[in-house]
Amino acid sequence: MPDPILELRDLKMHFPVRGGVMSRQINSVKAVDGVSLSIGHGETLGLVGESGCGKSTLGKSIVRLTRPTAGSVIFDGKDITHLSQSKLRPLRSNMQMVFQDPAESLNSRMSVGQIIAEPLEVQKIGTKATRRDTVEQLLERVGMPKSAAQRFSFEFSGGQRQRIGIARALALNPDMIVLDEPVSALDVSVQSQVLNLLLDLQSEYNMAYLFIAHDLAVVKHISDRVAVMYLGKIVELADADAIYQNPRHAYTKALISAIPEPDPMIERPRVHLEGEVPSPINPPEGSAFGHRINHPRYEETIGMDLSMVEIEKGHWVAADPCCLSKEDFTQVSSLS
Amino acid sequence: MSDTVDNLLEVKNLVTAFRLENGDWVRAVDGISFHVPKGKTVGIVGESGCGKSVTAMSVVQLLPQPMGHILDGEVIFKGEDLRSASSERMHEVRGGEIGVIFQEPMMALNPCHRIGKQISESLILHRGMDKREALQESVSLLEKVGIPAPEKRVMEYPHQLSGGMRQRVVIAIALACKPDLLIADEPTTALDVTVQSQILELIEDLQEEMGMSTILITHDLGVIAGHCDEVVVMYAGRIVEHAPVNELYASPQHAYTKGLLSAIPTLATPRKAKLKTIEGQVASIKDFVPGCRFCQRMGRSGDTLLNRAPFIEISKNHWVEACPECVEHNEAK
């Protein structure tokens, strides 16, 4: 990719676990454990994985709501990993975030107008009057009546609240929006309205999206490329069509086969996946997924380099003997 | 609706209403009829607030008190009208003959009691076991729902288990007394897709083994397609369509059903294509019109808003609320 808007290099986000008499750090939660990826201008990267795999933490460390433990976040050519809050503030206008639960992410003591104008006030853009105009334009753009500005967020339904959240993210005309499960809390008919809106806005303003979700059909629909995350690491990354038509990693295959297909005539081969994501406090030393499925080659993977390899043009997958077919693994080992 | 012989549960013209603080009544479920045949799974699908859960709660009489009341209709379970059953009888039915699984497993389990005690409770109450027998039975139930090391788990508390494990415990409790009917209200909504498919397959296996009927309430048409025999589509407190699952997906009749089916992106939908949407949103329950509420959402005016359309059998076992605006060919009966 010639010109990424965002680049992550071996990003790690560990949280301390304290305990004992003096609340010493006794361990750490490795929520994000060495993630490297990039997002191009105007591109949508979908990020999928089960709960607890670190998707949301990754999203938050990108917009620097948390300070990464190691690695770097390069936004628009500038390393923002260790910038102070005051140095970050001007950059924040270029990257915004939309959260899963619009009821919790909108202040119920502020009117909708105040909520949407707040980023403009923080960045000292315009006067009160021009800000009011901007708010009205934004509300119209996301399909809400102008009169909504005087009302409160709790007066609206879930779908409308999510539109308000999107209007707030748009206020500063960002280059990138991190969308953390933006449609998971919505009903299907409203979900499709919001997805259509997001697609329209993207083609209009050429924004990049990091779209975090657990619904694989939704992710496939909106994304250009898709990254699959498992226990703090990306295990497969490819074009949205390629990853669904030709998944290489056993975890991706299992995730895809678990999607309930809304057609009773379709009988798909099911990959049974036992167990759940292990705790990120003491992750298995070798292949995390190999450990979950009790793979006979798990022992081999301890101490092995399981980082991603480009198996096909643009299709990256973790070089993990437990999770790839024999042919794929032979090919991958010859490449690395 | 159809012959009553092999129906385990029949709901006839059920009306459930809630009393608001200002004394007004709102009808959350407004005159619905459906039946659950023996050994079959009936799915109830619809968007939030359409009355799915209130329907289920009306069947087992667990409506929030003092606001919730069944105003009219019959709930006939194994030939007995549960509406006229005494509260002692309902205690026997709930957890005994009808098992219930709720959406949020953390809310359904008591955080202060060990898993084993919570499963034992219904075994002692309904199957007359003593404490020791009940605990042993709890272990074998946990094993049946696929919990590893069950003898250790019975001594643990709910917070020590993951979401999927907790939902398995709730299923174990619901199935403890080998119920004839299982009501599963969004059993997998809070869970990951991989765990969801494990849980749904578990319910299906157990159902086959025990020959019970299931009411599966969900908003996910994918879940319905994979796991139900019949589907009831609810909108704004009413049933708009009821059909065998293949029939419903192959030829949906009501505009709302069609809209729902075309609004979900699937893996086959071309990427970034415009999704079909259903415009607007469900009206507030206080503003429901007496006639067709989907016409209300669509912003139509006229007679369909004033009078409720009849619920007719458009082809064998395929019932639809025959609003002339929402159902195209309305020539049937």
Angle, helices B115-127/B131-144, rounded to nearest 10 degrees: 110
Q: How confident is the model at residue A269 (pLDDT cuts 50, 70, 90)?
A: low
Q: Do B266 and A50 touch (CB under 8 A)?
A: no
Question: From residue B51, how far is each of A262, A271, B47 by CA, in Å?
Answer: 22, 35, 9
Q: Is residue B333 part of a domain?
A: no
Q: How far is A181 from chain B (nearest CA, A)?
A: 13
* Length reported for chain B: 333
Regarding whether B81 and B50 lie in a shared domain, the answer is yes
The mean pLDDT of A95-121, rounded to a whole number, is: 91
Range from A28-32, B28-32, B103-107, B174-178 carrying the lowest mean pLDDT: B103-107
Average pLDDT value for chain B: 89
- pLDDT given for residue A2 in this prediction: 57
The mean pLDDT of A138-154, rounded to a whole number, is: 92
Q: What is the 3-state secondary structure (H, E, C) of chain B?
A: CCCCCCEEEEEEEEEEEEECCCCCEEEEEEEEEEEEECCCEEEEECCCCCCHHHHHHHHCCCCCCCCEEEEEEEEEECCEEHHHCCHHHHHHHECCCEEEECCCHHHHCCCCCCHHHHHHHHHHHHHCCCHHHHHHHHHHHHHHCCCCCHHHHCCCCHHHCCHHHHHHHHHHHHHCCCCCEEEEECCCCCCCHHHHHHHHHHHHHHHHHHCCEEEEEECCHHHHHHHCCEEEEEECCEEEEEEEHHHHHHCCCEHHHHHHHHHCCCCCCCCCCCCCCCCCCCCCHHHCCCCCHHHHHCCCCCHHHHCCCCEEEEECCEEEECCCCCECCCCCC
Among candidate residues B130, B153, B176, the one where a domain is terminated: B176
Taking 70 as the threshold, does the pLDDT of residue B249 lie above it? yes
Regarding whether B152 and B77 lie in a shared domain, the answer is no
Taking 60 as the threshold, does the pLDDT of residue B107 lie above it? yes
Regarding whether B161 and B89 lie in a shared domain, the answer is no
Among candidate residues B127, B142, B176, the one where a domain is terminated: B176
Q: How confident is the model at residue B253 (pLDDT cuts 50, 70, 90)?
A: very high
Regarding whether B88 and B162 lie in a shared domain, the answer is no
Between A280 and B7, the higher pLDDT residue: B7
Q: Is residue B22 part of a domain?
A: yes
Q: How confident is the model at residue B5 (pLDDT cuts 50, 70, 90)?
A: low
- pLDDT given for residue B197 in this prediction: 85
The model's pLDDT over B297-323, given as tens digits with 9 standing for 90+, comes to: 998 888 889 999 999 999 999 999 999
Between A53 and B58, the higher pLDDT residue: B58
Regarding whether B182 and B169 lie in a shared domain, the answer is no
- pLDDT given for residue A169 in this prediction: 94
The model's pLDDT over A33-49, given as tens digits with 9 standing for 90+, comes to: 999 999 999 999 999 98
Within 8 A by CB and 6+ apart from A12, the residues are: A30, A32, A33, A34, A35, A68, A69, A70, A71
Q: Hey, what domains does chain A have and what are their CATH numbers?
A: 4-94+174-335 (3.40.50.300)
Q: Do B193 and A216 touch (CB under 8 A)?
A: yes
Q: Is residue B331 part of a domain?
A: no
Regarding whether B119 and B225 lie in a shared domain, the answer is no
Q: Is residue B37 part of a domain?
A: yes
The mean pLDDT of A118-127, rounded to a whole number, is: 93
* Beta carbons of B70 and B27 less than 8 angstroms apart: no
The mean pLDDT of B270-298, rounded to a whole number, is: 88
Question: From residue A228, how far is each of A232, A317, B127 by CA, in Å?
Answer: 10, 10, 47
Q: Is residue B231 part of a domain?
A: yes
Q: Which domain holds residue B171?
A: 104-176
Q: Do A260 and B225 touch (CB under 8 A)?
A: yes
**What residues of chain B lie within 8 A of the CB of A185, using their CB?**
none
**What residues of chain B lie within 8 A of the CB of A270, using their CB?**
197
* Beta carbons of B36 and B7 less than 8 angstroms apart: yes
Regarding whether B192 and B75 lie in a shared domain, the answer is yes
Q: How confident is the model at residue B331 (pLDDT cuts 50, 70, 90)?
A: very low
Regarding whether B205 and B76 lie in a shared domain, the answer is yes
A293 interfacial to chain B (CB closer than 8 Å): no
Q: Do A263 and B266 touch (CB under 8 A)?
A: yes
Taking 80 as the threshold, does the pLDDT of residue A242 lie above it? yes
Find which of A161, A187, A214 to mutate to test the B interface (most B CBs within 10 Å of its CB).
A187
**What residues of chain B lie within 8 A of the CB of A246, using their CB?**
none
Q: Do B264 and A255 touch (CB under 8 A)?
A: no
What pTM was computed for the model? 0.86
Before B66, cis peptide (omega within 30)? yes
Regarding whether B111 and B80 lie in a shared domain, the answer is no
Regarding whether B38 and B160 lie in a shared domain, the answer is no
The model's pLDDT over B141-155, given as tens digits with 9 standing for 90+, comes to: 998 888 888 999 999
Regarding whether B310 and B195 lie in a shared domain, the answer is yes
Percentage of chain B surpassing pLDDT 70? Answer: 97
**B261: phi then psi, degrees, rounded to nearest 5:** -65, -35
- pLDDT given for residue B332 in this prediction: 39
Integer Cα distance of B72 and B232 in angstroms: 20
Most confident of A9-18, A60-69, B3-12, B232-241: B232-241
| Burial of B290 from C-beta contacts in 10 A (0-12 / 13-18 / 19+) | exposed
Q: Is residue B327 part of a domain?
A: no
Taking 90 as the threshold, does the pLDDT of residue A233 lie above it? yes
Q: How confident is the model at residue B65 (pLDDT cuts 50, 70, 90)?
A: confident
Q: Is residue B1 part of a domain?
A: no
Integer Cα distance of B302 and B10 in angstroms: 34
- How is residue B16 written in tokens? 């459930």
A187 interfacial to chain B (CB closer than 8 Å): yes
The model's pLDDT over A72-94, given as tens digits with 9 standing for 90+, comes to: 999 999 999 999 989 999 898 89
- B183 closest CA partner among B82, B84, B58: B58
Strands A4-19 and A70-75: antiparallel
Q: Do B267 and A199 touch (CB under 8 A)?
A: no
Q: What is the CATH number of the domain that holds B90?
A: 3.40.50.300
Integer Cα distance of B254 and B252 in angstroms: 6
Q: Do A188 and B250 touch (CB under 8 A)?
A: no
A191 interfacial to chain B (CB closer than 8 Å): yes
- A233 closest CA partner among A17, A16, A31: A31
Q: Is residue B199 part of a domain?
A: yes
Among candidate residues B146, B176, B206, the one where a domain is terminated: B176
Integer Cα distance of B140 and B17 in angstroms: 41
Q: Which residues of B touch A (CB under 8 A)?
A: 47-48, 162-165, 192-198, 200, 219-226, 245-246, 249-250, 259-261, 263-267, 269, 271-279, 281
Average pLDDT value for chain A: 90
Taking 90 as the threshold, does the pLDDT of residue B130 lie above it? yes
Q: How confident is the model at residue B333 (pLDDT cuts 50, 70, 90)?
A: very low
- pLDDT given for residue A268 in this prediction: 66
- pLDDT given for residue B118 in this prediction: 93
- pLDDT given for residue B47 in this prediction: 86
Regarding whether B207 and B126 lie in a shared domain, the answer is no
Domain count for chain B = 2
Q: How confident is the model at residue B329 (pLDDT cuts 50, 70, 90)?
A: low
